[in-house]
Amino acid sequence: MTDGRVRRRALRLLPMLPLLAIGAGCAGAPGGTQPPPGFTADTFGLAGLLSGARATEAGCRALPDGLWVGTADGRRSECIRYHAAGLDGPPPRPATALVWIPGDPTGATYRMAGGRPRLESASMLYELTAELRWSGAEMLSAVMGGLPVVLLARPGMHGSSGDQAQDRHSHDEVELLDAALTELRRRHPWIRDFAAVGFSSGGTVLANLLTRRADIRCAVLASAPLDLGEYYRTAGGGGGGGVAALDSLAMRDDLADPMRALAGGRKLPADATVFVMGDHHDRRVPAAAWEHWAEAARRAGLQVLIAEIPGHDRPDLGGPVETRHHTSGRALEVGYACASGMAPADVQRALVTGEPLLLPRGRRLDGAEIRDAFAGQTLHGTAWQPRALVLTVWMPDGRLYQASPRRPGRRIAELRWWVEGDRLCTSRHGCGEVRADGALLHVVAGDPPRLAATYLAVAGPRPAADTAPRP
């Protein structure tokens, strides 16, 4: 049994209270930047993301999270990484697995050089580790009541081999992830079908997969450029719109445009439900770039439901202010609702009314339990709006620091926290109740109440109360 599997099984055995902290030097430490055997670079890190990576078949097959797959013509093979929870053993009957396909790296900027796209820069906050991705999958699965969850990495990202900039929006990217899903089902044959969620450029991939696969039960396309002609004309594919962007588009003959895929004559999954969602004020992906595809998909016979939802921003997590682009938290809620069998019309109604689809679980804590659970602790957590994996340090004097999970010495936010009655308050989310759910703590805020953040209790040494990440 691998160390990762031992760790994931141990999570289910942790006591609810008291919570034990993650030491500042544990899974999020900046070490582990060396690539695994058989890889030329580690694309979990920024340097490997920018350079791209090659991998050998033997090196990939030695990894518990590696899928060695190739393009249909046999011209190319890559190692696609995935990080999952709920796949350790088969359930009593075939099940739907939720698959997450991420967008481009945080803070990514692109340019054309020599007729080929290049990744010019990205935020250090992109950087994670395999262990952190396992933790993220564990948190999502636990929040979703044990639903199987797969975080599927795109080529050149999150440990996968490939070149992110050149593979982005390409036919190779679609073929490699198509093959990865097939290999995933071969490895876990009890997976009946998928509820797939694609955010931003991950949604571009997913829209193309709909024309290739019959096992996608539902697809959630959030803030996604689905009409690449419209996207490159108005948003420039990450480098500014206009004539220059259209010239760059014309220079590429390998773009996998979902609009063209719809017109390609492939048989579409008749039973699939497709949710297309985004913010009309999105400054990264214009609404027309997903509305045009949604209309064409309906004409082609797909069941497509469209919803405008508010996009969110976290400037401290990289990128400009007020993009209104980040809708990943809401998209995962929709994926969960669909995988759980909720009627599409009811999901659509909840999107229109703003009703939460992922309800908090667990026992509500009183004020004393809240103080015991947080004061002096260092915890990994998921912020939901927008979704981001963060490392949090809860100082007994009321200071609250958020840090990069891979670089715990790098502060990305300095906040305050306190307890009012039986509610936890922070200067970011206001005040809300706290629910203990196994190894998880949920912070619930808003009206109607919804998940604001989820924290994972992991056994480890308690850090000194006066320590905190330094810039």
Cβ atoms 274, 305 nearer than 8 A:
yes
Predicted pLDDT at 236: 54
Cβ-Cβ contacts under 8 Å for 3 (sequence gap 6 or more): none
Distance CA 399, CA 22 (A): 18
Cβ atoms 286, 234 nearer than 8 A:
yes
DSSP 229: H
Q: What are the pLDDT digits (tens) for 93-148?
A: 789 999 999 999 988 888 888 778 889 888 877 888 898 898 889 889 999 999 99
Is the dihedral angle over the CA atoms 243, 296, 166, 404 positive or is it negative?
positive
- pLDDT at residue 32 tops 90: no
CA-to-CA separations, 459 to 108, 256, 276, 337, 465, in angstroms, rounded: 34, 45, 40, 31, 17
Q: What are phi and psi of 123, to 5 degrees?
A: -75, 145
Q: What are the pLDDT digits (tens) for 360-375?
A: 889 999 999 999 999 9
What's the one-letter identity of residue 396? P
Q: What are phi and psi of 466, to 5 degrees?
A: -100, 15
Distance CA 132, CA 123 (A): 17
pLDDT, average across residues 203-222: 96
Q: CA 331, 98, 453 angle in degrees (round to 5)?
A: 50
Distance CA 382, CA 150 (A): 16
CA 248 to chain centre: 28
Distance CA 198, CA 305 (A): 15
Q: Residue written as tokens 């992906």?
A: 285
Which of the residue ranges 24-33, 111-120, 201-210, 442-451 would you say has the lowest mean pLDDT?
Answer: 24-33
CA-to-CA separations, 170 to 43, 182, 255, in angstroms, rounded: 19, 19, 5
Percentage helix, strand, coil for the chain under 3-state DSSP, each rounded to 5: 30, 30, 45
Q: CA 121, 153, 218 angle in degrees (round to 5)?
A: 120
Q: Please, how many CA atoms are within 13 Å of residue 120, restricted to the half-sphere of its CB?
A: 9
Distance CA 116, CA 443 (A): 45
Domains and CATH numbers, the chain: 1-30+359-471 (no CATH), 34-353 (3.40.50.1820)
Q: What are the pLDDT digits (tens) for 53-82?
A: 999 999 999 999 999 999 999 999 999 999
Percent of the chain exceeding pLDDT 90 equals: 56
Distance CA 93, CA 73 (A): 35
Q: What are the pLDDT digits (tens) for 291-318?
A: 999 999 999 999 999 999 888 776 655 4
- pLDDT at residue 465 tops 50: no
Cis peptide before 18 (omega within 30 of 0): yes
Type and span of the H or E element at 119 = strand 116-121
Predicted pLDDT at 410: 79
Q: What are the pLDDT digits (tens) for 422-437?
A: 999 998 878 999 999 9
Predicted pLDDT at 267: 78
- pLDDT at residue 9 tops 50: no
DSSP 105: P
- pLDDT at residue 250 tops 80: no
Predicted pLDDT at 162: 98
Type and span of the H or E element at 181 = helix 171-187
Predicted pLDDT at 356: 92
- Based on the number of CB atoms within 10 Å of its own CB, is 229 exposed (0-12), middle (13-18) or buried (19 or more)? middle
Average pLDDT, the chain: 84
Q: Which two tokens stand for residue 348?
A: 């659509």
pLDDT band at residue 173 under the 50/70/90 scheme? very high
Cβ-Cβ contacts under 8 Å for 260 (sequence gap 6 or more): none
Cβ atoms 175, 166 nearer than 8 A:
no
- pLDDT at residue 464 tops 60: no
Higher-confidence position of 349 and 412:
349
Q: Which two tokens stand for residue 82?
A: 């995935």
Predicted pLDDT at 116: 82
Q: Which two tokens stand for residue 314?
A: 């976290």
Which of the residue ranges 44-58, 291-305, 333-347, 445-459 would you say has the lowest mean pLDDT?
Answer: 445-459
DSSP result, 323-353? ---B-HHHHHHHHHHHHTT--HHHHHHHHHH
pLDDT, average across residues 379-403: 87
Distance CA 286, CA 359 (A): 30
Distance CA 297, CA 223 (A): 16
Predicted pLDDT at 407: 78
Distance CA 237, CA 233 (A): 8
Predicted pLDDT at 405: 76
Report for 114-123, 227-236, 338-347: range of highest mean pLDDT:
338-347
- pLDDT at residue 207 tops 90: yes
Q: What are phi and psi of 55, to 5 degrees?
A: -140, 155
Distance CA 119, CA 105 (A): 10
CA-to-CA separations, 176 to 76, 170, 283, 462, in angstroms, rounded: 9, 10, 29, 43
- pLDDT at residue 395 tops 90: yes
